Amino acid sequence: MSQFFEATFLPPPGADLKGCYAQVNYAGTIDPAPIFSDYGLTTPITQPVDISSGQLQFYVASGLVNANAITAGNYYTIQSIGTTDFTSIGANSNTVGVTFKSTGVGSGTGTAYFEYDLLLGGGNIARPFTTQNIWTIPSTIWQLDENLWANEPQLWGAVNPVPVSVVNEQNIGQMYTANDIIRAAMRLIQVSAVDTDLTANELQDGLESLNRMLDSWSADELTLYEVIREQFPLVSGKNPYTIGYGGDFNTSRPTKIVDAYLLLNNGSIPVSYPMQVLNFQDYNAIRLKTLSTNFPNYIYYQPSFPIADVYIYPIFAPNDPATQGPAYINITSWKPFNMIVDPTAYMSYPPGYWEAIVFNLAVRIAEEYQFDMRATTVQLAVNALKRIKRLNQRTDTLQTDVALMNTSQLRYNIYSDGYGR
């Protein structure tokens, strides 16, 4: 039995992976573990593996062993409990999925499987680095060594991992803390020297500026990258529904609702009915707002704060709820940026956002400190923001009112400039 592992390594700007390598060891040891290029584990891969391409893929034996085959010093993950007391050999609890370093030989009918470590080194890596347990490998492996960034951007090192829940496969991207972003922005305006860190007050000022900027970006649809579809249950006769943390629809308050549909599930085949999103003029123009139906057609979003309201029209009130079954509304909305509370926690943004955030934050901080900014830095900030806005631009679909169409013919032919079947 084998397991597949895949990783994508993304060095920071200015760095490369030339001459870098990876080696898979049995967890907790320096002994290489055999890895293979095929599921059947018949074609071995020579180690260490060159990762200059940024890709690493291999199969490895799942290593399932009985408890009496467990040896001290190796890492295992509990597969089944049986009659084995795994806490007696190093586990925190007798729970399936718990990873532990064995302190001795097990007994009983329980099973566990081997864990593997990933050793990274060579090339421009400042120091070799081992990530324990490849199945919980961090979301980021590479990050700029801040003390070397300004003078020698080609020198970079690995940092302590951030555990994430991963089983067999993942892509590894770049993640940064708010403090990383603030330090980078401060260096751009020369608030701090390359070899000195910011004071606690400077970091706090930077965090406040960063949160204000993200709050401002949340009001601009083109800076928002997160469009989420969420499902909420409908209650017969209820209108409106509150939306926001603690509301009827318990989620973050949307910046804007862009689409919705009704989902009916009577126990056989779920059926979706599209709903039209109304603006406030259209909703206010409805004369009989208490009208009810089995199939509401419209949704109106009233963006109150901190809890907003969602109005359904006509009001959902089925004639026979038992026969019709449960009903749900699926809402697609743009979500605002989360305010940063812990500046040491890792964050992840889509490509392009790192530069846009750092350079635009630098411009804001320079204004607050009354520093003069270089024109090139300001232009880089402007260009980076334009790029993410272009990426987030959505194209609306144009529709023609049926009353304006030539109903005597089926469709208009754009090539012949006429109507025809």
The answer to whether residue 12 is domain-embedded is yes
Question: What domain range includes position 288?
Answer: 227-334
As for how many domains the chain has, the answer is 3
Is 99 found in the same domain as 215?
Answer: no
Closest CA to 299 of 255, 331, 335, 253: 331
CA 295, CA 264: separation in Å to the nearest integer? Answer: 9
Phi-psi region of 352 (alpha: psi -120 to 50; beta: other; left: phi over 0): left
pLDDT at 46: 92
Which residue numbers in the chain have pLDDT < 50?
A: 139-173, 194
pLDDT at 404: 59
pLDDT at 369: 79
pLDDT at 309: 93
Beta-bridge mates of residue 329: 232, 262
Is 126 found in the same domain as 109?
Answer: yes
Is 284 found in the same domain as 197?
Answer: no
Is 355 found in the same domain as 323?
Answer: no
Given 297, 316, 334, the domain boundary residue is 334
Is 308 found in the same domain as 201?
Answer: no
**Omega before residue 303 within 30° of 0, cis:** no
pLDDT at 401: 60
Is 380 found in the same domain as 251?
Answer: no
Q: What is the pTM of this model?
A: 0.49
The answer to whether residue 315 is domain-embedded is yes
Residue 79's CB is within 10 A of a number of other CB atoms, namely 17
pLDDT at 350: 76
pLDDT at 322: 67
The answer to whether residue 409 is domain-embedded is no
Is 150 found in the same domain as 16?
Answer: yes
The answer to whether residue 182 is domain-embedded is yes
Is 181 found in the same domain as 123?
Answer: no
The answer to whether residue 387 is domain-embedded is yes
Q: Are 40 and 64 in contact (CB under 8 A)?
A: no
CA 70, CA 113: separation in Å to the nearest integer? Answer: 9
Given 334, 358, 375, the domain boundary residue is 334
pLDDT at 163: 30
The answer to whether residue 403 is domain-embedded is no
What lies within 8 Å, CB to CB, of 127 at 6+ separation is: 121, 157, 158
Is 362 found in the same domain as 328?
Answer: no
What lies within 8 Å, CB to CB, of 14 at 6+ separation is: 153, 154
The model's pLDDT over 260-282, given as tens digits with 9 standing for 90+, comes to: 998 887 666 778 888 999 988 98
The answer to whether residue 412 is domain-embedded is no
Is 34 found in the same domain as 146?
Answer: yes
State the pairing for strand pair 298-302/271-278.
parallel
Is 364 found in the same domain as 302?
Answer: no
Is 329 found in the same domain as 263?
Answer: yes
The answer to whether residue 405 is domain-embedded is no
Buried b (16+ CB within 10 A) or exposed e, 341-355: eebeebbebeebbbb
